[in-house]
Amino acid sequence: MSSAADELAHWLEDQGIGLFGGNADWSIHVDREPVAPDRVVTLYDTGGPANFSIEPEIRNPTIQVRVRGVTFAEAYEMQERISRLLTQPGDGYASFERTIGEHRYLVIARTSDIMSLGRDANDRIRLTANYEALRQPLEIES
């Protein structure tokens, strides 16, 4: 099974945020922020609380989305764009639920505001935001 960060990174690629694993501006990566390009989105699996659902297959992973850019404004706008995609249902959805990868995401909520990590050694701005999801596998293993 794929991690939440990996599934959501590929889904963000499908939504036009950038190319997964690429080296062009606004490439998308998982668990490792590359040195280049200057503009990059990286998703991290950050654990999450113990399973609180009465249904053991429903998990609630937490994910951090880090955006690095040349200017504060472009990095902030990318964070806002990603937040809208992750947390708001798109056109045609009767509810929030959506299938992403091997899971049904029941909800994705942003659990922090956009925060600055300051600038890196190359003077690029880094902004982060945190999310929590409820997801269940499409196929339940017995």
pLDDT averaged over consecutive 10-residue blocks of the chain (142 residues)? 92 96 94 96 88 74 97 98 87 70 93 96 97 89 57
Phi-psi domain of 82 (left: phi exceeds 0; alpha: psi -120 through 50; beta: other):
alpha
Output helix, strand, coil percentages for the chain, rounded to the nearest 5: 20, 35, 45
Q: What is the predicted pLDDT for the residue at 93?
A: 47
Local structure of 103: helix, strand or coil: strand
Q: What's residue 91's pLDDT?
A: 55
Give the integer Cα–Cα distance in Å for 61 and 51.
9
CATH class in words for 4-137: alpha beta
Beta strand spans in the chain (E)? 27-30, 40-47, 62-69, 98-100, 103-110, 115-119, 125-137
For residues 32 and 7, give the distance between their C-alpha atoms in angstroms, rounded to a whole number. 15
pLDDT at 95: 61
| Half-sphere CA count of 74, side-chain side, radius 13 A | 13
Instruction: Print burial letters for 69-83: b (CB count within 10 Å at least 16), e (below 16).
Output: beeeebbbebbebbb
pTM of the prediction? 0.90
Q: Strand pairing partners for 128?
A: 66, 115
Supply φ then ψ for residue 11, to 5 degrees. -65, -40
pLDDT score, position 22: 87
Residue 54: what pLDDT? Answer: 66
